Amino acid sequence: MKPELANVKALVFDVFGTVVDWRASVIAEGVAWGEAKDLNIDWSEFADRWRLGYKPAMDKVRKGQIPWTRLDDIHRMILEDLLKEFKIEGLTEEEKVSWTHVWRRLKPWSDSVEGLTRLKKKYVIAPLSNGNIALMTELSKFGGLPWDAILGAELVQHYKPDREVYVSAYHYLDLKPEEVMMCAAHVSDLHAARRAGLRTAFIFRPREYGNGPVAVPDSARPGDFDLVSESITDLAQQMEA
Amino acid sequence: MKPELANVKALVFDVFGTVVDWRASVIAEGVAWGEAKDLNIDWSEFADRWRLGYKPAMDKVRKGQIPWTRLDDIHRMILEDLLKEFKIEGLTEEEKVSWTHVWRRLKPWSDSVEGLTRLKKKYVIAPLSNGNIALMTELSKFGGLPWDAILGAELVQHYKPDREVYVSAYHYLDLKPEEVMMCAAHVSDLHAARRAGLRTAFIFRPREYGNGPVAVPDSARPGDFDLVSESITDLAQQMEA
C-alpha cells in the first residue's frame, strides 16, 4: 500500500453507478411492470431519461432556485414529467410511490457486497451519496450492503459536488480529511473530494450506462487518483483488507 | 402482536444502558488501566461520577447556556474534572483521548446482538442516542451491533428528551410517527417519544447501575408502554421477528 494511504481510516462511497447498477435495475422493473400493464415503452430510454433529469433538478437546489428537496422527491418530480411524455396514464398514488421507490431497489454490482464486507473488517465504510437517508437505508437492506453508518447529502442539505458534503464525511466521523477516502466511478465526484482534502479511489464501472447513448463511462489512469481500481474487491485487495 | 404494532416499520434504540453495559465496561477498563499505572482508585465511583456528569452538561446545551457540543467532547470535559478530583496526574494528550474513547468501547448486553440481528430481518433498526455519530459508529463496530443507519442527537443538534430528536427519527426514515417505535430502558425517554407520536417499548435492564448507589433502574408494568420486555431478544420475540 502507498505510504499516504496507511493513515486512511474510513472509506466513503458514491452509490448510484459505483455500488449499484441503477440502469439494469430500473429497466428490469420497467419491463416486468410494462408487461403486466400491457405498455409498449422503451424502458432503456425511460431509465436514461429518469437519470438524466436528476442533475438539473439537483443543480436547481445547489443554486438556491428551489429549496432543499430530497432525492426521493426529485425522483417523483421527474417521474411525473416522464409519465406525461411517455403517455402512461391512470396510475394510482400507491403505484406512483412504488415506482418512485424503484430507486430503493437497485441491485449491487456483483463485487460490491463481497468487497464492502472485506473493507468493513479494517475500515469504517459509509455511503456518501446524494440519496437521502431513507432511500440509502432501504437500498442497503435490499442489496445487503453492510455499511457502518449512512452519511450523505441530506445530513447537510447540500448536493455533491458541493464541498459541504465532503467536509461532512470527516466531520461526522471525527477524522482528519486525509483519513477519509472517497470512492467513486465518477471523476467529477473525486475531483471535488480531493479539493476538500480527502483521499480518492476510482472504481471503473464500464457498464454503468450499458450500451445506451447517454454517457461514456469515466476512466482513469494509474496516478490520476490515490488509487485506481476495477471493482470494490480490487479496491479491498489494494487496501489490504 | 397487538394490532397497533402491526404498522411498525422501524425500531430506534436508546444505547447507553439499553443496548450496552456502560458501567461494567468503564469499570473494567479503569481497573486494568489503574493496575498498569499503579493507581488506587474506586473505579465504580469513577464510572458513576462520569456518567452523572453527563446530564447536567447536556442540560446546559438544551437550555442554550453553551453551544452544541458533541457527547465525545462532553465526556472529555467531565474527564478533566474527574482527573483533578481523583488526583490523577501526568496523562499525555493521547492517553486522555484514549480514555475519553472508553465510551466507544462498551460491551453490549448478552442479548443485544442476537436480538438486533433478528429484528433487522423484519424492521429497520437504528440507534437514537445522545451519542454522536463517530461515537455510535465506533461503538457499533466494537460490539458488532448490526444497525441499518446511525440516527440520533447530532443530526439535529438537540439532546434527548428534546422533541426534535424523536421527530428526526421518522423524518429521516420517511415514515409516519406511529410507524417508528422507541426502545429504551428509561421511562423518561419513552415518555418523550410518546409525546412525539412514536410507539414505545420498554426494555428492563436491572443491572444498569450494578449495586451502585447512583440510581434505581426503571421498571414498568404491562400497559405502561406499547410493549414491555425483559431483553432485546424478548422484544424480537414479541415483535415476531
CA distance B238 to B130: 26
Residue among A133, A138, A173 minimizing CB distance to B137: A173
What are the distances in angstroms from CA B238 to CA A181, B5, B122, B232?
Answer: 42, 10, 13, 10
Candidates A12, A145, A174, A180: best to mutate against B (most CBs of B within 10 A) is A174
ipTM rounded to 2 decimals: 0.96
A179 has a chain B CB within 8 A of its CB = no
Q: How many CB atoms lie within 10 A of CB A171?
A: 18
A140 has a chain B CB within 8 A of its CB = yes
Range B21-39 average pLDDT: 94
**Record: contact B148-A140, CB cut-off 8 A:** yes
What one-letter code names the amino acid at A11? L
B156: closest chain A residue by CA: A155
A132 has a chain B CB within 8 A of its CB = yes
Which of A223-232, B34-43, B180-189 is predicted with the least confidence, judged by mean pLDDT?
B34-43
CATH of the domain at A46: 1.10.150.240
pLDDT, residue A201, reads 98
Question: Taking the CA of residue A102 as centre, how many other CA atoms within 13 Å lie in the half-sphere pointing to its CB?
Answer: 24
Residues of A in contact with B141 (CB under 8 A): 124, 148
- The domain boundary residue, chosen from B49, B76, B104: B104
Reduce the DSSP state of residue B124 to 3 states and report it: strand
Where does residue A83 rank: exposed (0-12), middle (13-18), buried (19+ CB within 10 A)?
Answer: middle
**Record: contact A154-B132, CB cut-off 8 A:** no
**Record: contact B172-A149, CB cut-off 8 A:** no
**Record: contact B150-A150, CB cut-off 8 A:** yes
Candidates B174, B175, B180: best to mutate against A (most CBs of A within 10 A) is B174
pLDDT, residue B28, reads 97
Q: What angle do CA B176, B181, B187 make, to 5 degrees?
A: 130
Same domain assignment for residues A114 and A193: yes
Q: What is the DSSP letter of B142?
A: H
A72 has a chain B CB within 8 A of its CB = yes
Same domain assignment for residues A16 and A115: yes
Reduce the DSSP state of residue B184 to 3 states and report it: strand
CA distance A161 to B191: 41
Rg from Cα positions in chain A: 18
- The domain boundary residue, chosen from A104, A130, A157: A104
The domain tally of chain A equals: 2
CA distance A31 to A10: 38
- Residue A193's domain comprises 3-21+107-238
What are the distances in angstroms from CA A112 to CA A18, A120, A205?
Answer: 9, 12, 12
Where does residue A22 rank: exposed (0-12), middle (13-18), buried (19+ CB within 10 A)?
Answer: buried
Residue A127 Cα, gap to closest chain B Cα (Å): 11
Same domain assignment for residues A97 and A156: no
**Record: contact A148-B132, CB cut-off 8 A:** no
Same domain assignment for residues B131 and B228: yes
Same domain assignment for residues B204 and B140: yes
Task: Give the β-pairing of B227-229 and B199-203.
Answer: parallel
pLDDT, residue B215, reads 81
Tell me which H or E stretch contains B235: helix B232-238
Tell which residue, B42, B155, B50, has the closest CA to residue B102: B50
CA distance B142 to B139: 5
Same domain assignment for residues B147 and B90: no
Tell which residue, A8, A7, A12, has the closest CA to residue A152: A12
CA distance B233 to A16: 35
Residue B175 Cα, gap to closest chain A Cα (Å): 9
What are the distances in angstroms from CA A1 to CA A5, A116, A184, A237, A238?
Answer: 7, 18, 19, 10, 7
Same domain assignment for residues A145 and A34: no
B134 has a chain A CB within 8 A of its CB = yes
pTM of the model: 0.97
Same domain assignment for residues B12 and B130: yes
The runs of H, that is alpha helices, within B38-162 are: 43-52, 54-62, 71-85, 93-100, 112-122, 133-143, 153-156
Q: What share of chain A in percent tops pLDDT 90?
A: 92
pLDDT, residue B1, reads 85
A168 has a chain B CB within 8 A of its CB = no
Residues of B in contact with A155 (CB under 8 A): 155
Size of interface A-B (CB pairs under 8 A): 59
Reduce the DSSP state of residue B229 to 3 states and report it: strand
Q: Is the confidence at residue B212, as pLDDT, over 80?
A: no
Residue among A134, A155, A172 minimizing CB distance to B173: A134
Instruction: Enumerate residues 183 to 202 of chain B having a beta carbon within 8 A of any beta carbon in chain A.
Output: none
Query: Mind spelling out the 3-state secondary structure of A126-163?
Result: EEEECCCHHHHHHHHHHHCCCCCCCEEHHHHCCCCCCH
What are the distances in angstroms from CA B161 to CA A198, A207, B192, B217?
Answer: 35, 48, 6, 18
pLDDT in single tens digits along all 241 residues of chain A: 888 899 999 999 999 999 999 999 999 999 999 998 888 999 999 999 999 998 999 999 999 999 999 999 999 999 999 999 999 998 999 999 999 999 999 999 999 999 999 999 999 999 999 999 999 999 999 999 999 999 999 999 999 999 999 999 999 999 999 999 999 999 999 999 999 999 999 999 999 998 877 788 999 999 999 999 999 999 999 999 9
Q: pLDDT (tens digit, 9 = 90+) per residue, B48-68?
A: 999 999 899 999 999 999 999
CA distance A152 to A13: 9
- Quickly state the pLDDT bin for B211 (edges 50, 70, 90): confident
Residues of A in contact with B155 (CB under 8 A): 155
Same domain assignment for residues A133 and A227: yes
pLDDT, residue B218, reads 96
CATH of the domain at B123: 3.40.50.1000
Q: pLDDT (tens digit, 9 = 90+) per residue, B146-180?
A: 999 999 999 999 999 999 999 999 999 999 999 99
Q: Is the confidence at residue B214, as pLDDT, over 90?
A: no
**Record: contact A137-B124, CB cut-off 8 A:** yes
Residue among B72, B136, B155 minimizing CB distance to A155: B155
Q: Which residues contact B116 (CB under 8 A, 6 or more apart)?
A: B19, B125, B145, B146, B147, B232
Same domain assignment for residues A79 and A185: no
Residue A183 Cα, gap to closest chain B Cα (Å): 19
Q: pLDDT (tens digit, 9 = 90+) per residue, A68-116?
A: 999 999 999 999 999 999 999 989 999 999 999 999 999 999 999 999 9
A12 has a chain B CB within 8 A of its CB = no
Same domain assignment for residues B172 and B154: yes
Count of residues in chain B:
241
Residue B103 Cα, gap to closest chain A Cα (Å): 14
Residue B171 Cα, gap to closest chain A Cα (Å): 9
Grid cell of B9 as nine digits: 416499520
pLDDT, residue B2, reads 86
Candidates A117, A135, A150, A175: best to mutate against B (most CBs of B within 10 A) is A150
Same domain assignment for residues B99 and B161: no
Phi and psi (nearest 5°) for B53?
A: -75, -15
Q: pLDDT (tens digit, 9 = 90+) per residue, B122-131?
A: 999 999 999 9
- The domain boundary residue, chosen from A72, A104, A136: A104
Q: Is the confidence at residue B37, as pLDDT, over 90?
A: no
Grid cell of A199 as nine digits: 483521499
